[in-house]
Structure 1
């Protein structure tokens, strides 16, 4: 029997084509995933913008309601006291409330500073130290 000639070039060619096709398909899949992610983020961005606008509108209407409530309180107190005393009383109560809210808010902002994820950084440092320790063993 005569030895059969090797057909390595024919066998390798389909494998090469398969690798090329797989590479193209992965690239195409990645591009499609990126387009999908971009579309999703655009949709979420639009919803975020609409939601933010609605929350802003709610804040304005809430502020107007607070002003109406203050006027109502002044009118109600005017039944017992002169108008200037009623207005001064409501103003003093609102000023005291604003001072308390400002103090609590300032304390919260102070606790949030500095704006660095300290716990996450400490966790990463601990992980790196552990990896280094295990690598030296």
Structure 2
């Protein structure tokens, strides 16, 4: 038997490194999934906090609207107009907070890219996958 040539030796080396490379790929994909889930949880948390803030400001809006109604019935003077302006400002704050919260909820509900990537990688390793990476 003759000693393997450099070409054969590099092939054997590559075959020997294959399990380590697959393990590294799976580890990297898992780390990416963890990072994406953390990102999504953060945006859901921000969205929930902003909804809570909007509800808190909504309590003040309700109080202001009640005061506006009382002032409007008691006096037909500019005092009720001032209360109505304050109500409008509070309503604007609520709309802005809810808009930002909705944006964060949308960001948090986007599909995970790394899970699809992992599925494609596993399909390719099995030999059943579509090799076209969009």
TM class by shorter chain equals: 0.3 to 0.5
Where relative contact order (Cα < 8 A, 6+ residues apart) is larger, the structure is 2
Which structure has the bigger radius of gyration? 1
